[in-house]
Structure 1
Amino acid sequence: MDKDAAGFLLSSMLETAFTVCGPVLAVALIVGVLISIFQVVTQIQEMTLTFVPKMIAVALVIMLLSNFMLSELNRFTISMFEYAASL
């Protein structure tokens, strides 16, 4: 395996990882910022106030986008097996 092949595999893997994990991380970030702003405005410093809404939002995003995530991982796996067969 040469440098070009390793670079292709690495870039393909990172692209798939960002595509699959990106929406979940973005929702967690947005909900966390909104809850933090709410805590600053109301001066409520409760730990469960940050954890529970973020957990619910992430669970909803995973349930809604699970089909997309699975299809992306399936596409990546098939392409990697095809690439390995061509070597």
Structure 2
Amino acid sequence: MSQEMVLGWAEQGVFITLLIAAPLLITALVIGLGVSIFQATTQIQEQTLAFIPKIAGVMLALIIFGPWMLTQLLTFAESIFSNLHQFIG
């Protein structure tokens, strides 16, 4: 196994990780921004106000994007296991 192959698999692994995490992180970011704007306009400075909408939004995004995320992860894992003979010898 060459160094380029290892770096290629590592790069693809990091890319898949970011791709899978992106929908949940973007959802939390958008909801947090919306709650922050709401808090700034109403001058409500309660720190725990942002947690419940973020949790609910991330759970909803997980329900919506979960099958796609699982498909991406399974495709990556399948490509690793199908090329396992190249890693050993």
Q: Displacement, 1:34?
A: 1.0
Unaligned runs of 5+ in 1: none
In structure 2, what is the equivalent of residue 69 of structure 1? 69
What secondary structure is seen at the aligned counterpart in 1 of 2:68?
helix
The count of aligned residue pairs is: 87
In structure 2, what is the equivalent of residue 26 of structure 1? 26
Query: How many Å separate the matches in 2 of 1:7 and 1:83?
Result: 15
Q: CA RMSD in A?
A: 1.1
In structure 2, what is the equivalent of residue 60 of structure 1? 60
Query: How many Å separate the matches in 2 of 1:5 and 1:54?
Result: 39
Unaligned runs of 5+ in 2: none
What secondary structure is seen at the aligned counterpart in 2 of 1:44?
coil
Q: Displacement, 1:73?
A: 0.7
In structure 2, what is the equivalent of residue 6 of structure 1? 6
In structure 1, what is the equivalent of residue 40 of structure 2? 40
In structure 2, what is the equivalent of residue 86 of structure 1? 86
Report the residue type matching 2:52 in the other structure: V
Percent of residue pairs bearing the same amino acid type: 32
Single out whichever of 1-10 and 56-65 deviates more from structure 2: 1-10
In structure 2, what is the equivalent of residue 51 of structure 1? 51
Query: How many Å separate the matches in 2 of 1:14 and 1:46?
Result: 36
Q: Displacement, 1:86?
A: 2.6
User: After TM superposition, where is structure 1 displaced by more than 4 Å over at least 4 residues in a row?
Assistant: none
